[in-house]
Amino acid sequence: MLEAGVPNLDVVLGGGVSVGSFNLIAGGPGVGKTIVSQQIMFHNATPENPALHFTVLGEPVVKLLRYQSRFPFFDPSRVKTAVRYVDIGDVIRKEGLDGGLEVIVSRVERYSPAIVIIDSVRAVREIACGGGDYGLRTFTHDLAQVAVVWNATSFMIGEYEESEIRSGPEFTMADGIIWMAMEKVQNSVVRKLQVVKSRGMPIVPGLHSFRLDQHGV
Ligand SMILES: Nc1ncnc2c1ncn2[C@@H]1O[C@H](COP(=O)(O)OP(=O)(O)OP(=O)(O)O)[C@@H](O)[C@H]1O
Ligand SMILES: [Mg+2]
């Protein structure tokens, strides 16, 4: 079991995230997906059980580091030892999705991470929609397939509409789905989180309100 390390999220998850599971953190823009993934990563990563974070086009590594470093959970002394960031935007732009997948696989083989994060698959999907036989469906499927043989717990992050959760192939393949959203309540916005599924875990179903502040989620 992997602790999320986000206050109360482990309760909602029914104890945590299963080791080796393939998870999606999904929701619209700005809901807090990247922050949650960074919290999970810094809570668990050690030099012996490192984490690999792949960024895909959406958020270049420098930009990501700049704003994640404001949070107390971000520990710069662990970057490059326990936590490694890899930008695969360039390789995807030049060599397409199969090239991106190759880099992911080679880095995973090199570092044997305990945690793999891919942020975000929305960017991947945009390229996939642009044409080519090797579309998102194949990419996600291949990713899920290779992830099975990794000893890693993986988190794919993606911007999705709520309606897509029922149709996307990646949602069927995932062992766990965390859905995050912002709901308008009168003039305020309330942040909500739902564990849509987590195979084998006694989750607490339903929407849970959460707060995002200078400490993270
Ligand atoms: N110190 C803070 N206090 C309150 N809210 C904050 C703070 N820092 C960031 N946020 C909020 O966090 C949100 C961004 O979180 P995050 O980057 O994790 O979102 P995301 O879901 O990954 O978005 P995207 O899909 O655009 O990448 C923004 O809505 C921002 O307002
Ligand atoms: Mg993000």
Predicted local distance difference test score (pLDDT) of residue 125? 65
Q: Is 29 in the pocket of ligand 1 (CB under 6 A)?
A: yes
Task: Choose one of 212, 213, 214, 217 to mutate for the ligand 1 pocket test, by most ligand atoms within 8 angstroms of C-beta.
Answer: 212
Among 79, 77, 73, 53, which Cα is nearest to 9's? 73
Domains and their CATH numbers in the chain:
22-164 (3.40.50.300)
Distance CA 132, CA 97 (A): 10
Could you read off the pLDDT tens digit of each residue along the chain, which spans 217 residues?
999 999 999 999 999 999 999 999 999 999 999 999 999 999 999 999 999 999 986 667 888 889 999 999 999 999 999 999 999 988 888 888 888 889 999 999 999 999 999 998 777 666 655 555 556 667 777 888 888 888 899 999 988 888 887 777 778 889 999 999 999 989 999 999 999 999 999 999 999 999 999 999 9
Distance CA 135, CA 59 (A): 21
Predicted local distance difference test score (pLDDT) of residue 75? 95
Predicted local distance difference test score (pLDDT) of residue 129? 55
Q: Whose CA is nearest to atom 15 of ligand 1?
A: 32
Vertex 55, ends 36 and 135: CA angle to 5°? 110
Q: What is the dihedral of CA 144, 150, 151, 154, to 10 degrees?
A: -40
